[in-house]
Structure formats: C-alpha cells, structure tokens
Amino acid sequence: MLRWACRLSGLVIAAMLAALILVLANSALPAIRKFGAGFITSSEWRVNEIERPLRGPDGKVVMGEDGVVMEILPPAFGALPVIYGTAATSLIALVVAVPLSLGAALFLVRVAPRLRIAGPVSFLVEFLAAIPSLAFGVWGLFVLAPMFQNSVAPLLRRILEPVPGLHWLFFEKITVAGRIIERPIPLNGRDLLTGSLILAVMILPIITSVSRDVLRSVPRIQIEGTLALGATWWQSCVAMLRYARSGLLGAVLLGLARAAGETMAVTMVIGNNNQISASPFAPAQTMASLLANEFGEATDGMHRAALLYVALILLVMSLAFNVVARKLVVGRPSHAVH
C-alpha cells in the first residue's frame, strides 16, 4: 500500500515536470512557429509597431512620387539580448564565486575541523542559502549600487579610461535617425556587473555546500597516500580537488543553474534594458528578469507567446544544467588520479 503511494508521488512529480514543459511549449507555439530558431539569434525586442520614413543606405530619407516613402516596422521579438545577459551574468558570477566557494569548501573539510569551527561555519554558509533573493536584491539596490556609483566607478573611470584600448568600457553607441552617436555610459551601479556580483553572492552557498560534501567523500586513504608520498599540505589539497573534480564540476553547474534562473534580485540591479553592450557597466537584461518585467502586462498574443518561448528556453537550459550536474555529483568519482 505504502509502496504504491510512494510510486504515485514519484509519478506525480514527473508528470508535473512533463506538464510544465508541455504547457509552456504549447503556449509558446505561435512564437515558435513564427520565429523558429531565428528567435535565439535575433537581437531586436520591440513590442510596438513603428512607422517611419524609409532611409536609404546613405542614411537619407527616400522620396517617392507622393512625397516621403514610409516603412512600417512590425513588432519584433528576438531573445539574443536576454540570452546574452543570462550567459554573461552567470559566467561572471561563476568566475567570482567558484574560487571563493572551493576555498571555503577546502577550509571546511581540511582546516575547520581542526579548529573545531566546522559546525558554525557550515551553518553560516547554509544560512546564506536560506536568505530570500529579495533581500539580496534590496541589499544590491541600496548598498552595492550606490557604493559602486559613488566610490568604485569614479575611481575605475580615472584609472582605466586613459588606458588605450579600454574606451569601449565607458562609452556606448546609439543609432538615431541613421546617425551613430557615441555617449558616455552613466556609471550608476545598475548594470550587468552589479547583477553578476549579486548572483555570485547568491550562488556561493550552494556551490560551497555541495563542494564540501563532495570533498568529504574523497576517501581518507587518498589524502594519506599523497601525504605518504611526500606531498606538502597544499599539494595534497590540489590532489584532493583533482580526485573530486567531476563532483566539483557538478557543484559548479548547480550554481550555474541557480544563477541562470534567479529573478528578483537581478531584476532590481541589472538596469533592465534589452540590449547587448560590450561594457559590463551598461544596463542589461536576463531571461528571468525580462519575464519578471514584462509578463504581467503582456496582453498582446505574440508578445505573450514570445515571453513563454523565452521561459521554455530557460526551463530547458536549467533542466539540462541540473541533469548534467546531478550525474556528475551522484555518479562515481573519477579514479583517474592516483
């Protein structure tokens, strides 16, 4: 009886996931049909229709027999800016968070037990994971962004702007009426970089705690073996990391999945502009923040379908990260290192 109940629960969860994907795909169908795979590579996201004078290749208005020739730009939905925003913020977050997390995990496994503080530190790391993302967002908005705007950005600008080849960090190009304008990016702390830093803080706990568990499962004999062979303490740590590398990669992927799907905190600090800018100081948008911003008011059919298409891509991506990560963490540790 109980066995059947358990089986049923398992089935319900699997069915829920399947239903989620099916419903999303079905609702996104108009957009999938219309844009297909080009959705992923197109960078224009505009809900309104624009009617304007047609301009020739020279930037001049084209004149027809009855005066100015008009062109109508229909609404366009391309997901490249938000895919870029998600990828860039997640990668920067990983670059910041992974070294810190691995260091913290090593500390918890190799150093903290000797100092008898493994318990409290582990608790703190897990506590960090339990803080609601909104709290991180508020902290980013009211502490991190103003700090960046008032102290870090002026310093960066003074030091880096004169450096040749770094001009692109501080200027953006905008096309207006056929002409390109270059203007300074206002460094106000609501940008891709701040979004990434918030994400880094948010994924620290999960990467740290999974890494800690992975490192703990490294057989004691492995560590003692390296020490017996004359390895220094540091060399034995490196050997330990190499032994556990597939599990650690899994931990990193779990962090990546969390970073890609994180919504509220990022929405509050990323600047929410659907654009691709080379500079990390320019506002950007992630898939999740786009949905948070636009879904509530998306009443036009194609706009809604396009947003659901983005949601579907995000879901499939997160699912893929999670599946690979689970395989790596739960799977047998590699025996390549001896």
Partner 1 sequence: MGVIRPALISALAAWCGATALASEVRLSGAGATFPAPLYTRWVSEYQREHPDVKIDYRSIGSGGGVKAITDKTVAFGASDAPLTEKEIAAMGGTDAVVQFPTVLGAVVAAYNVPGLNKPLQLTGAVLADMYLGRISSWDDPRIKELNPGVALPALAVTPAFRTDGSGTTYVFTNFLAEQSADFKGEVGTGKQVKWPLGQGGKGNEGVAAVIQQTAGSIGYIEHNYAVANKIASAAVQNKAGKFVSATVESVSLAGEGAATGMKGTVLRADAWNQPGEKAYPISAFTYVILYRNLDNIKAGADARALMAFWWWCIESGGKYATEMEYAPLSPSVRDAVAKALGQITHAGNPIPAGR
Binding residues for partner 1 (CB under 8 A): 44-53, 73, 141-142, 145-146, 149, 172, 174-177, 181, 183-184, 186, 188, 190, 267, 271-275, 283, 285, 292-294, 296-299
- Taking the complex as a whole, the smallest distance from the CB of residue 155 to partner 1 amounts, in Å, to 16
In this structure, what token pair is assigned to residue 283? 């506002």
For the bound state, the minimum distance from the C-beta of residue 191 to partner 1, rounded and expressed in Å, comes to: 9
- Distance between CA atoms of 193 and 181, rounded to whole angstroms? 24
* Nearest CB to partner 1, comparing residues 7 and 52: 52
Q: What is residue 116's DSSP assignment?
A: T
CB of 203 to partner 1, least distance (A): 24
Closest CA to 258 of 84, 129, 143, 141: 129
**Degrees, nearest 5: CA angle 253-287-318:** 30
Please, which residue, 132 or 146, has the CB nearer to partner 1? 146
Residues whose CB is less than 8 angstroms from the CB of residue 23 and which lie 6 or more positions away in sequence, other chains included: none
**Tokens 């490294």 found at:** 218
Q: Please, what is the minimum distance in Å from the beta carbon of residue 294 to partner 1?
A: 6
Structure tokens at 28: 């996104």
What does each C-alpha distance from 235 to 23, 117, 148, 241 come to in angstroms?
A: 51, 23, 38, 10
Beta carbon nearer to partner 1, 166 or 177: 177
- Asked whether the beta carbons of 259 and 93 are under 8 A apart, the reply is yes
**By C-beta, is 65 or 175 nearer to partner 1?**
175
Nearer to partner 1, 85 or 205 (CB): 85
Alpha-carbon gap, residue 2 to 153, rounded angstroms:
61
CB of 174 vs partner 1, minimal distance in Å: 4
If the CB atoms of residues 57 and 299 are measured against partner 1, the closer one turns out to be 299
